[in-house]
Amino acid sequence: MPTTRYASPSLLVGALVLTLTTWANAASSADAQAATESSSAGTTADDYRKYFSPLPALPPIPSNNSLTAEKIALGKMLFFEPRLSQSSNISCASCHNPALAWTDRLPTAVGHDGQVGNRNSPTVLNTGFLTAQFWDGREPDLESQALGPIQNSVEMAHDLDGALARLSSLPGYMAPFRNAFPDSNEPLSADHLAAAIASFERTLNTPNAPLDRYLMGDDEALTDEQQAGMMAFVDQGCIACHRGPNFSDSGFHPIQVPGSDDPGRFAVTSDQADRQAFRTASLRNVALTYPYFHDGSAATLEEAVSVMGREMLGKELDDATIAQLVAFLGSLTGDQPTVTVPALP
């Protein structure tokens, strides 16, 4: 339940050129062409299919943490386990609520003893497709991310030894840990705690969005306005950073969100180029994961798109274009995972 959040890259005219150049160097030649290619007379929405990819059912699975039914079941228990927190009142699900698209829909997260964090809680949906975790990318994968909120003084405010000791005192956890890690002499450990939570989170994916169905040949899956928005998404340059199946390059781009002085990735790298830079958010299910940006300062998708156009693309988008883009973003809402809250020991 990280209190981290994200923002969109800040660029005005010259900065726009820098961002697109950076993107082009990192992207494949096909993606680079997609970002810079403009539509010609007679171009139809069908011609834009080549710029997008359907979301796979599962993200890449790391070789050192195979995905098993036992790990997933244990990870689900731990995700909903409030006794991992010092107060025994806060679980991962407190800030990543399944009923709220696996976020909390608050501007910034509320944690231990009612403390309010300084960043928005990002959704857990499709996070296995990201190659950097947290708004500032301070962890590279879900395994390392899983332990951060437990120890964060503003979030769950517990130390790992205390959390593990508490789990060890509950007989009902011993068998699930042994079943999940049968080859280990110490099944109940911090590494296994992280591996189990990460395994569960890798199952929280949302394929079969209207755009996915359109890309796979269902011409009726998108409305006319959504198709217009898809074309605008490419032509306006949004695809430069929001690309790939998960609509994120997992990169970091500076943005001056109005009113925010958050240093962003600079706090991790101490590199001035990373000041106020944040990881590109996935746009999957973005219609459900409001409010927006690392500080939750944009209450609506229309407002967020307007800020992105101004700060990232260096242009004032007109109302019609904003409406088309918002309609297209609505087509990225996929099938939501069905998860039954487990009975805990």
The angle that helices 319-330 and 301-311 make with each other, rounded to 10 degrees, is 120
Q: 219: helix, coil or strand? A: coil
User: How would you class 334 by CB atoms within 10 Å of its CB: exposed for 0-12, middle for 13-18, buried for 19 or more?
Assistant: buried
DSSP-assigned beta bridge partners for residue 7: none
Residue 40's pLDDT is what? 44
Q: Which amino acid is at 183?
A: D
Half-sphere exposure of 212 (CA within 13 A, CB side): 18
pLDDT value of residue 42? 74
CATH architecture of 69-201: Orthogonal Bundle (1.10)
CATH code for the domain defined by 13-58+207-330: 1.10.760.10
Residue by residue, pLDDT tens for the chain (345 residues) are: 444 333 443 333 333 333 333 443 444 344 434 444 444 447 899 999 999 999 999 999 999 999 999 999 999 999 999 999 999 999 999 999 999 999 999 999 999 999 999 999 999 999 999 999 999 999 999 999 999 999 999 999 999 999 999 999 999 999 999 999 999 999 999 999 999 999 999 999 999 999 999 999 999 999 999 999 999 999 999 999 999 999 999 999 999 899 899 999 999 999 999 999 999 999 999 999 999 999 999 999 999 999 999 999 999 999 999 999 999 999 999 999 999 999 999
Asked whether the domain spanning 69-201 has the same topology as the one spanning 13-58+207-330, the reply is: yes
Residues paired with 103 in a beta bridge: 97
Contacts of 199 (CB under 8 A, 6+ apart): 65, 67, 68, 71, 72, 74, 75
C-alpha separations of 35 from 5, 57, 127 in Å: 26, 26, 24
Q: What distance in Å separates the CA atoms of residue 7 and residue 248, rounded to the nearest whole number?
A: 12
- 70 is an active site residue: no
Annotated domain spans of the chain? 13-58+207-330, 69-201
pLDDT (0 to 100) of residue 6: 35
Please identify which of the residues 81, 139, 143, 155 carries the catalytic annotation. Answer: 155
Give backbone dihedrals phi and psi of 97, rounded to 5 degrees, phi first.
Answer: -80, 125
